[in-house]
Amino acid sequence: MTVQNISNLSTPPPRPLRLAETALFLDLDGTLAPIAARPQDVGPDARRTDLLESLARRLNGRLAVITGRTLSDVDHILEGCVPAVAAVHGLVRRDADGLVTETRPHPAVPRAAAALRTFAVRDPGLLVEDKAGLSVALHFRQAREHAPAARAFARELAQETGLGLQSGDMVAELRTPGARKGDSLRAFMGEPCFAGARPVFMGDDATDEDGFAAAEALGGFGVLVGPPRPTGARFRLDDVAAALDWLEASR
């Protein structure tokens, strides 16, 4: 993953999108929905659903969600309003026609899940999330004092099992090796519905940098949501509220 604009923390806000020439790719948590203390605390929102339905119509279907969430989570939170979804960071992908492809789970995922659950016993604020058997995440947002130990333990497990280690905002995830967010964006751009458009990827954390790079390489750009930090995104918005306002101004 290459992160551009390393020394530039004054990334400007984007102008409203030109929807007729855009293919829009959106992360979910921290981008379309505020990050909650527990993943299960995020649910449907009428404003967000209406906005995405409107954008999908205006974009003629050139809209996809690319997220670390499972496919069932996405459909619940977004009320099924976005057909094209890359879930579990790209290990599961449903194309614009509804066809679902899924990477075969790595056999070490159950072992890693059991080890993380044992680790999490030390504090009720440590949460383990099983993502459809393809990956397992250890959340420590509610137990920040355990963050260094949690990250170190996840690194050790990755080395022992051969699973990929993906670090995010107060989470360490052990995943089946395979497609990432940038791979998913490129796959969507190869579909007739998306082909020829300018890709725009909007996301909030380190797991989205791969998507920013893919969009830039295909003639588009990334939009970071959140505080200034080193990023490959060309533009930035302050928070989820600003992201939704920008999307509403573009539709």
Tally of structural domains, the chain: 2
pLDDT one-digit tens code per residue, 238-248: 999 999 999 99
Q: Report d(CA 198, CA 191) in Å as an integer.
A: 13
SS3 assignment, position 164: strand
Same domain flag for 114 and 143: yes
Is residue 4 assigned to a domain?
no
Judge whether 7 lies within some domain: no
Instruction: Give pLDDT, residue 11.
Output: 86
Q: Is 95 a catalytic residue?
A: no
| 52 and 93 fall within a common domain | yes
Task: Give the domain-ending residue among 119, 142, 175.
Answer: 175
Q: What is the pLDDT of residue 168?
A: 87
**Cα separation of the two ends of the chain:** 31
Cα distance between residue 60 and residue 80, in whole Å: 17
> For position 185, what pLDDT does the model report?
98
Q: Where is the domain boundary, 175, 190, 216?
A: 175
Nearest alpha carbon to residue 225 among 251, 244, 210:
244
pLDDT at 183 over 70: yes
Same domain, 60 and 160: no
Q: 153 falls in which pLDDT band (50, 70, 90)?
A: very high
Contact 118, 154 (CB under 8 A): no
Residue 11 maps to a domain: no
Asked if 99 and 208 sit in the same domain, the reply is: yes
Q: Has residue 156 been placed in a domain?
A: yes
Residue 99 shares a structural domain with residue 193: yes
* Statement to judge: residues 123 and 155 lie in one domain: yes
- If you count them, how many residues does the chain have? 251
Domain with 99, as residue range(s), is 20-103+179-250
From 193, 95, 94, 179, select the one nearest 134 (Cα to Cα).
179
pLDDT digits (tens, 9 = 90+) for 200-247: 999 999 999 999 999 999 999 999 999 999 999 999 999 999 999 999
The enclosing domain of 44 has a CATH number of 3.40.50.1000
Sign of CA dihedral 15, 17, 23, 28: positive
- Tell whether 8 is covered by a domain: no
**185 and 157 in a common domain:** no
Q: Which of 118, 140, 175 is the last residue of a domain?
A: 175
Judgement on whether residues 235 and 115 belong to the same structural domain of the protein: no
Active-site option among 27, 204, 208, 210: 27
pLDDT of residue 89: 94
Residue 84: inside a domain: yes
pTM: 0.93
DSSP summary character for residue 29: B
CATH number at residue 153: 3.30.70.1020
Phi, psi values for residue 157, rounded to 5°: -60, -40
96 shares its domain with 155: no
Is the pLDDT reported for residue 2 higher than 50? Answer: no
The reply to whether 238 and 186 lie within a common domain is yes
* CA gap 228, 198 in Å, rounded: 24
- The whole-number pLDDT of residue 131 equals 95
**Both 131 and 164 in a single domain?**
yes
